[in-house]
Amino acid sequence: MLLHHWRILLPLITTDLRVSAFSFSTTARASRGKFECQFPKHHPLRASTKQISEQTSSSSQSEEQRISVHETIEKLTRHPAVYWDETTTFSSLHNKKLKMRHIDLFAETSDEDYRLFNGFARAVAQAGRVARKEVFETWASALHIHSGFLLGEGGTRRVCDVAAGHGLLAWALLILDDAESKSCEGEGCRPLTVLCLDVVMPRNAELIQAAMLECFPHLESRFDYVEGRLEQLIPHPSCLLASVHACGPLSDVLVATSASSGVPLAVVPCCHSRKRKVLEPVASPFAWDLYDEIMSEDGSMPDLADRLDHARVTALRNSGMVTDEEYLPTLYTDTDKNRLILARVPDDGSFQSSKPQGQAKVKKPKRQRRKGSMPPLDESTSTKSINPNAKYLRGFSVPCEDSETRRALVSRQAGREAADSRKAMMHNRNHSASPRLNMSLWLPENEGALSEEALADLINSRHDGVAVEVSKVGEIYTNSEGRRSQSYRFEYVSSEGGKSILKFDDAKRLHRELYELVPKAFIGAECR
Ligand SMILES: C[S@@+](CC[C@H](N)C(=O)[O-])C[C@H]1O[C@@H](n2cnc3c(N)ncnc32)[C@H](O)[C@@H]1O
Question: What 3 state SS string does 156-183 have?
Answer: CCEEEEECCCCCHHHHHHHHHHHHHHCC
Rounded to the nearest angstrom, the distance between the alpha carbon of 163 and the centre of ligand 1 is 3
- What is the domain-level CATH number for residue 502? 3.30.70.380
Residue nearest to atom 5 of ligand 1 (CA): 165
Q: Specify whether the CB–CB gap between 126 and 211 falls below 8 A.
A: yes
Q: What phi-psi label fits residue 495: left (phi over 0), alpha (psi between -120 and 50 degrees) or beta?
A: alpha
210 lines ligand 1 (CB under 6 A): no
Verify whether ligand 1 is closer than 6 Å to residue 282 (CB atom): no
Contact between residue 127 and residue 207 where contact means Cβ atoms under 8 Å apart: yes
Residue partners of 412: CB distance under 8 A and separation at least 6: 418
Distance spanning both ends of the chain, measured CA to CA: 83
Query: Which of 379, 400, 422 is the last residue in one of the domains?
Result: 422
Considering the domain boundaries, does residue 362 fall inside one?
A: no
Cβ neighbourhood burial of 457 (10 Å; 0-12, 13-18, 19+): middle
Which of 247, 282, 397 is the pocket-test mutation for ligand 1 (most atoms within 8 Å of CB)? 247
Instruction: Tell me: do 397 and 495 sit in the same domain.
Output: no
Residues 439, 396 within the same domain: no
Q: Domain containing 483: what range?
A: 432-527
* Residue 488 located in a structural domain: yes
Which atom of ligand 1 is found nearest the CA of 137? 8
Residue 45 lies in a domain: no
Residue 214 domain-assigned (yes or no): yes
Is 427 part of a structural domain of the chain?
no
Spell out, as residue ranges, where the chain has pLDDT lower than 70.
1-61, 84-94, 186-188, 334-335, 353-395, 427-431, 497-500
Classify residue 37: in a domain, yes or no: no
Ligand 1 proximity of 245 Cβ (cutoff 6 Å)? yes
Q: Verify that 393 and 469 share a domain, yes or no.
A: no
Are residues 123 and 226 located together in one domain of the fold? Answer: yes
**pLDDT given for residue 396 in this prediction:** 76
Do 456 and 336 belong to one domain? no
- Say how many Å lie between the CA of residue 229 and the centre of ligand 1: 9
**Cα 144 from Cα 376, distance rounded (Å):** 37
Whether ligand 1 lies within 6 angstroms of the CB of 164 is answered as yes
Distance CA 150, CA 194 (A): 12
The residue whose CA has the least distance to atom 4 of ligand 1 is 165
Same domain, 437 and 414: no
Distance 345 CA to ligand 1 centre (A): 25
Distance 165 CA to ligand 1 centre (A): 6
Q: Domain check: are 342 and 470 in the same one?
A: no
- In testing the pocket of ligand 1, which one of 139, 197, 250 has its CB within 8 Å of the most ligand atoms? 250
Q: Are residues 316 and 374 in the same domain?
A: yes
Q: What is the CATH number of the domain that holds 200?
A: 3.40.50.150
Same domain for 115 and 163? Answer: yes
CB distance 328 to ligand 1 below 6 Å: no
Which residue has a Cα nearest atom 12 of ligand 1? 163
CB-ligand 1 contact for 198 (6 Å cutoff): yes
Pocket lining: 165 vs ligand 1, CB cutoff 6 Å: yes
Residue 163 Cβ < 6 Å to ligand 1: yes
pLDDT at position 198 is 96
Residue 255 covered by a domain: yes
φ, ψ for residue 432 (rounded to 5)? -90, 145
The packing angle between helices 304-318 and 288-296, to 10°, is 160
- Ligand 1 atom nearest to 392, measured from its CA: 19
Ligand 1 atom showing the smallest separation from residue 243 Cα: 6
Contacts of 331 (CB under 8 A, 6+ apart): 2, 3, 6, 77, 82, 90, 91, 136
Tell me what the pLDDT averaged over the chain comes to: 80
Residue-wise pLDDT for 87-111, tens only, equals: 666 666 667 889 999 899 999 998 9
**Domain check: are 383 and 480 in the same one?**
no
Q: Which among 137, 232, 245 is the best mutation to test ligand 1's pocket, defined by most ligand atoms within 8 Å of the CB? A: 245
Residues forming beta bridges with residue 327, ordered by sequence position: 339
Same domain, 310 and 448: no
Domain count, the chain: 2
Residue nearest (by alpha carbon) to ligand 1 atom 24: 163
Domain match, 199 and 229 both: yes
How far away, in angstroms, is 164 Cα from ligand 1 center?
Answer: 6
Whether residue 44 is contained in a domain is answered as: no
